Amino acid sequence: GKEGNPEHGRGIGSAFVPASGFAPMAMKSRTSAVSSMRMQEGDFSAAVPFLKRPSNLDGTYIGDVGFDPLGFSDVFDLRVLREAELKHGRFAMLAVLGFIIQELYTFPFFPKMAPVDAHDYFVKQGGGSQIIFWISFVELFGVVALFETLQGKREPGDFAFDPLGLAKDEATLERYRLAEIKHSRLAMIAIGGFIHQYWVTKQTVLEQLGNFKSLA
């Protein structure tokens, strides 16, 4: 039972253990008993306790709490899913920051307007095509990085980007990785909430904090 093996949090390589069919009979019997006990203890998702834990979410990756109600982990490679989650999470964190800062300050050569309206305005001015161009350019590097991940040359989302030298040791690096994935998930939810809140209330984030208007 690899679910309870602490070594699985240290790398993907531990997934390539010999199949139980090649183990001696005594070892097979003991392993089966231990596996059964561990499955009974941790058979349910930590994130959604009333749902079964997805079999592929075994705690290999930091931040894995067994949340996959739609079963994507049974269809796609976990390395691809983690790469996508980190990429979208990083963009979302930048978007949240930009969304709030734009309420407080706008460059003099740009018109002052709500962030959602600014998006529509600049798309009409031709900004949309520029965004698509530069995002496509960035994606080229992302595709190369993804292939390296699938070849086992790098961890998902790892671009060795640490200009401030924050990850001084392995323990600190693990702590920052957990913080990043948590903030990424929160930011993806937050930016969606910011946009839909404006569509419904016509109030920006900080404006609604100071002058809340109920929908009722």
What is the torsional sign of CA 155, 143, 68, 18? negative
Residue 201: partners with Cβ closer than 8 Å, 6 or more residues away: 208, 213, 215
What is the torsional sign of CA 168, 173, 175, 179? positive
Residue 48: partners with Cβ closer than 8 Å, 6 or more residues away: 66, 67, 69
pLDDT at 69 over 50: yes
Query: Residues of 166-182 as b/e, b for ≥16 C-beta within 10 angstroms?
Result: eeeeeeeeeeebeebbe
Query: Mean pLDDT throughout 112-132?
Result: 85
pLDDT given at position 216 = 58
Cut 0.85: pTM above it = no
Query: Mean pLDDT throughout 32-55?
Result: 67
pLDDT at 91 over 90: yes
The larger pLDDT score, comparing residue 147 to residue 37, is at 147
Classify residue 207 by burial, with Cβ atoms within 10 Å: 0-12, 13-18, 19+: middle
pLDDT at 29 over 50: no
Which of the four pLDDT bands, split at 50, 70 and 90, describes residue 42? low
The larger pLDDT score, comparing residue 47 to residue 96, is at 96
Which of the four pLDDT bands, split at 50, 70 and 90, describes residue 28? very low
Tokens of 165: 């030298």
Q: Interhelix angle for 78-104 vs 127-150, to 10°?
A: 150
pLDDT at 8 over 50: no
Which of the four pLDDT bands, split at 50, 70 and 90, describes residue 166? confident
Classify residue 7 by burial, with Cβ atoms within 10 Å: 0-12, 13-18, 19+: exposed
The average confidence (pLDDT) of the chain is 80
pLDDT at 181 over 80: yes
Which of the four pLDDT bands, split at 50, 70 and 90, describes residue 82? very high
